[in-house]
Structure 1
């Protein structure tokens, strides 16, 4: 079974509601390909490796979190950008990308899906555009939570404990926001978190953790954002009778 490109775009837009967000780049159809779509491949980033894998899989469309175009980037089509676009255009493959709308969806988005993977049931949102999630928790200490996150995601994490007294405190509330959301740390503190989980860490967060008594876990940008795209694409494909597969491209970030 196949459907039109327009129908698929309407399904993605209807689910993710990109018009609600102020974002860093265009959401929706970023590269136009063939008008009829039967096979959708999802992935985290529209890298050349993902595009090549989608071509090998016979995809008509690719659905990702990190697309090709971002606010403020160099607009010239050279080097790696030329190579990616050349592959998409030569094989007539549609590229759909949703950034913040994919983070924010309450059930299928990156944050909701990370909560599912970690066994956390969110009961509140926080931060700019309500992208952050928070949930009650029951961990003996921040270290035990960090160990749990590492096991769930299958990778080492960076754990910054609070002051020495707080390092052994039980964890009763966890806040999280996937990817490069280290700037949400202060909002997470204000939301009452004992620990904040995100993808990346910058220099200021270690000091804030020690000075506020709130722990910080950086679990990887890719590692925390590898669940939303396949969840959304799988649901839409199922509703529309399309074939779907998630292709994981290894990324240590």
Structure 2
């Protein structure tokens, strides 16, 4: 058993959440019971994840995509109202970490991608960022663009979309999980051979070709499965409490 406030304080300090200018609040978003015996983690605070947390007797739902995003309407109605009502009715705490969980050098989504792809010599995609939310890494050996597509698809369990460039091989890889397709320009500035993110836009096809950077769209959900699991495991070890992961495989 652990105190909710102790968990939040530890997470905030570990992830340095106060150092990020984000699109939603990081940390405790909806407060439930003060004592936590079990955590359920999920990529997104969907109704399915909420229902799973309730069914499993979790006290805390830990997510990457929580609520109260900038630009959202204020009224708590409709789908979001139903979700929040379920959380409050069951005295469940909702905790979300967005950019801090992308950025963390060991627990983060980007760190997980580097590990899965065995990338070396990790550096910032944007050298001017204090806490980089995108990175660059190097393959041990160059690969053909097609072979790299097959490799990332296998490692991330997602059929990657490859938008081709002219380069005959790839070794220097830029990457930023989720909806960061527009960082392909930063990858070009750093002379990357390829760039990985989650989503893809119509414009990305032309950017990959004209910037001469192979682009691999590997799924918003698929590239961001890992941070919440790493963070939940770290919390479990720090506070000696149980955790589980809820997977609702989102094809986007």
Q: TM-score, normalised by structure 1?
A: 0.95
Name the CA distance, whole Å, in 2 between partners of 1:90 and 1:187: 45
* 1:141 is the counterpart of 2:141: no
Alpha carbons 1:109, 1:231 under 8 Å: kept: yes
Cα deviation, 1:110-158, whole Å, max 9, x if unaligned, reads 0001111222235201235521111111232111111101111222111
* 1:56 is the counterpart of 2:24: no
- Give the direction of change, closer, same or farther, for the CA distance of 1:86–1:122 in structure 2 (3 Å limit): farther
More displaced stretch, 148-157 vs 95-104: 148-157
**Alignment correspondent of 1:245:** 244
* 1:21 is the counterpart of 2:24: no
Pairwise mapping of residues 159-178 of structure 1 onto structure 2 (< 5 A)?
Answer: 159-163=162-166, 166=167, 169-178=168-177
Three-state SS of the structure 2 residue aligned to 1:123 is strand
* 1:112 is the counterpart of 2:111: yes
Number of equivalences: 248
Alpha carbons 1:5, 1:35 under 8 Å: kept: yes
* 1:154 is the counterpart of 2:157: yes
Moved >2 Å (runs of 4+): none
Shift of 1:45: 0.3
**Alignment correspondent of 2:181:** 182
Pairwise mapping of residues 2-17 of structure 1 onto structure 2 (< 5 A)?
Answer: 2-17=1-16
* 1:217 is the counterpart of 2:216: yes
Alpha carbons 1:122, 1:133 under 8 Å: kept: no
Cα deviation, 1:80-131, whole Å, max 9, x if unaligned, reads 1111111111110001000000000001100001111222235201235521
Name the CA distance, whole Å, in 2 between partners of 1:122 and 1:78: 47
